Structure 1
Amino acid sequence: MNGFALGAEQEEWCGQLRALAADRLRPLADKGEPGRVNRPLLAALGELGLLERVFTSGALELCLLRESLAYGCTEAETALALQGLGAHPVLSSGTPEQRARWLPEVRAGRAVAAFALSEPGAGSDAAALALEAVRDPGSKADADAYRGADGGGGGGGGWRLSGEKCWISNAPEADFYTVFARTGEGPAAKGVTAFLVPADRPGLSGEPLDMLSPHPIGRLSFDGVPVGPQDLLGEPGRGFRVAMDTLNRFRPSVGAFAVGMARAALDATLAYTAARRAFGGVLGDLQAVGHRVAEMATRTEAARLLVYAAAGAYDAGSPDVPRRSAMAKLLATETAQYVVDHAVQLHGAVALQRGHLLEHLYREVRAPRIYEGASEVQRTIIAKELYR
């Protein structure tokens, strides 16, 4: 890819993905229950080799994958992305045993992963985590609890997790959680540790949340959940870096998800306004409509190029990845909100009917401006990087 266009092979692959999303994945998504994990859809993503690409692709290829799936089936895109978000810390910081146990199952769509960072009092301010990991000297009974059915946790002392996580995607139905807890090696971000916590650990419970967007999202409660040395993801006190590395990896592709939705809304609007007759012609003949569509298209293209540039910077190992990633997510998610909203306006009442593409996108598009760092957080990151 040059700075302005994809190569012919990339364009062909994106077209194949859009068709696959519409023809193969959309029917499975339609059979799922909103707000619940769709395991048949995940299995199809694994069978098609798309989950594998989440872990083997560069950032640009991941963006193309997410954008193309979002265009044809947002549920498939979200299911794929959440697998990557939940399991990437295992790939980047897990032990050989953790990787061997979980990653093949995630790639096949048989195990559901979740990224458990947010809390009731720590959403955008991730360094303000309150979930506490208290040192446990480790009795014989404790050692047996640490091992659990999955054999994890080791046989010596460990920690007990106590507190709550909230707005966790795939909770409470995930098979394991990447959990970030305060172990106290230092203040704020310096005292956070990452753990891999299987869902069957004693003391772990959860409940689903009824959200505007149709994603599976829930709350988790930790009542002295035992974790041991073999559950660590990386080193004690270094969990915040694990979290930020994961978010930096996925932020440009959150923008790609948004671009996919914007492009779907734009194409639907072009088709509708070119055919809908009104005032002696078609809607597209009206200057007000044509100018609105031109603005939607221009903003979508600008967001797309910024997302690709951020992904390219990540793949090249550029030092300005945090700034570029934040810019890409900020512009793309705000643009998608603008495009979908105006697409609804130009369609009129038909777009407000349950089941209409734009009704669906209207509910989907709001959340990415908050998830993985709200727009205000992205602006803060950009400003700090500029003044650094």
Structure 2
Amino acid sequence: MPDRSFLTWPFFEPRHRDWAARVEQVAQGLEIDHTDTDAACRRLVRDLGAAGLLHPTADEGGQLDVRTLCLTREILARHDGLADFSFAMQGLGTGAISLFGTPEQKAAWLPKTRSGQAISAFALTEPQSGSDVANSTMTATRDGDDYVLNGEKTWISNGGIADVYTLFARTGEAPGAKGLSAFIVTPDLPGFEVVERLSTIAPHPLATLRFTDVRVPVQSMIGAGGAGFRIAMSVLDVFRSTVAAAALGFARRALDEALQRVGARHVQGAPLFDLQMVQGHVADMALDVDAAALLIYRAAWAKDSGAPRVTREAAMAKLFATDHAQQVIDTAVQLFGGDGVRSGMPVETLYREIRALRIYEGASDVQKVVIARQTKAAQSEGK
């Protein structure tokens, strides 16, 4: 039985505890076939939507409850990485629409993604820019009542299976970050091409996309022209904490698996847990799990409490939770011995799942830069 005592922390309200119990119940009943990743994700989106679990991923009023998002990702990740992925992308892919979309844009897409009838994606990363969003080179050129898109996006989650993409392109209102805009794009448009499906150590739907003279109506722009960078950062401000929550879910599962292993495995007639060195490992793992949870739910609570930005708090949560989840899982693998690296074992799967979380939505080194700059700014402002 995983530890649920953290749900009594003052970050949470009764509705969060009720929601966590609901997610746990649904997660236990999910049937996931990992032999076909695309099919598995399509079914997961449908099943999560039918169960009502996708409801928190979108909100017509732009009031996303970050604690609910984090709890959902943590619980789903503890059960299965693809379940977490499918839930997370429904929120990230339409986050810009929830926060900045017009009533018409929200009406067109949010009911579909929230019910599982449509799969969403967030198309930000480019081959040459990576985490340096301000250096994006994909263009959106105004031509009458349309914008014409040209360029490439890569490492796009749900690329190739999504029904709607939130895409960022340079409209040129100003140099750098101030010249980007956000658009709603569908894959049926002429000139939209899936160039390559990308394989990773933990299989997920990922792709490189090419846009050649893709025409989208002016009405597809999300927010104002030139506001794309601010929109992207606002979305990441919400969902970066949820990446940390997914890492926390992986770490909790690794700790649970390790505790079962060292309790059942005997060495010289006694449980492996009786060795002081093993107890030291378990203590370190438990400490990392609780410290990560405190950082995550502090950031989520602050955002839900009305903080306009939680850039530093979210960056701290993501950096610590993902880096330390990697350590927790590595320790679990070590405690399993040879079985820890046997293909298909839970801790081996977790070992592959966790690595990408230290890269996407801002790599660990980028988070350090963000934290340092935000800390210096807070000091200068006397906060």
Normalising to structure 1: TM-score of the pair? 0.90
Counterpart position of 1:197: 185
Counterpart position of 1:128: 135
Counterpart position of 1:385: 374
Counterpart position of 1:18: 24
Question: Within 5 A, what are the aligned runs for 1:167-206?
Answer: 167-206=155-194
CA distance in structure 2 between the partners assigned to 1:265 and 1:240 by the alignment: 36
Question: Within 5 A, what are the aligned runs for 1:29-40?
Answer: 29-30=32-33, 33-34=36-37, 38-40=41-43
CA distance in structure 1 between the partners assigned to 2:41 and 2:72 by the alignment: 19
CA distance in structure 1 between the partners assigned to 2:346 and 2:8 by the alignment: 32
2:26 counterpart letter in structure 1: L
CA distance in structure 2 between the partners assigned to 1:109 and 1:5 by the alignment: 29
1:295 aligns with one of 258, 279, 284: 284
1:89 shift after superposition = 0.9
> Against the structure 1 CA distance between its residues 229 and 5, is the aligned structure 2 distance closer, same or farther, given a 3 Å change threshold?
closer
CA distance in structure 1 between the partners assigned to 2:13 and 2:257 by the alignment: 25
1:45 aligns with one of 40, 45, 48: 48
User: Structure 1, unaligned stretches of length 5 or more?
Assistant: 139-155
Question: Within 5 A, what are the aligned runs for 1:1-388?
Answer: 10-11=16-17, 13-22=19-28, 24-25=29-30, 27=31, 29-30=32-33, 33-34=36-37, 38-56=41-59, 57-136=64-143, 138=144, 156=145, 158-206=146-194, 207-318=196-307, 321-388=310-377
CA distance in structure 2 between the partners assigned to 1:5 and 1:135 by the alignment: 46
Could you give the per-residue CA deviations for residues 194-247 of structure 1, whole angstroms, max 9, x where no partner exists?
A: 010111111001131111222111110011111221110111111111111110
Counterpart position of 1:149: none
1:7 shift after superposition = 6.1
8 A Cα contact 2:237 2:309, kept in partner: no
Could you give the per-residue CA deviations for residues 19-45 of structure 1, whole angstroms, max 9, x where no partner exists?
A: 4212x22x2x22551366621111110
Question: Secondary structure in 1 aligned to 2:84?
Answer: helix
> Against the structure 1 CA distance between its residues 381 and 275, is the aligned structure 2 distance closer, same or farther, given a 3 Å change threshold?
same
> Against the structure 1 CA distance between its residues 284 and 11, is the aligned structure 2 distance closer, same or farther, given a 3 Å change threshold?
farther
1:195 counterpart letter in structure 2: F
Cα RMSD after superposing both structures: 1.8
Question: Secondary structure in 2 aligned to 1:30?
Answer: coil
Question: Secondary structure in 1 aligned to 2:117?
Answer: coil
> Against the structure 1 CA distance between its residues 36 and 126, is the aligned structure 2 distance closer, same or farther, given a 3 Å change threshold?
farther
> Against the structure 1 CA distance between its residues 379 and 35, is the aligned structure 2 distance closer, same or farther, given a 3 Å change threshold?
farther
1:18 shift after superposition = 2.6
8 A Cα contact 1:46 1:107, kept in partner: yes
8 A Cα contact 1:117 1:179, kept in partner: yes
8 A Cα contact 2:124 2:168, kept in partner: yes
Question: Secondary structure in 1 aligned to 2:33?
Answer: helix
8 A Cα contact 1:15 1:68, kept in partner: no
1:54 shift after superposition = 2.0
Shifted more, 255-264 versus 3-12: the winner is 3-12
Could you give the per-residue CA deviations for residues 45-98 of structure 1, whole angstroms, max 9, x where no partner exists?
A: 001111112225511121111111111122111100001000111122222222
2:82 counterpart letter in structure 1: E
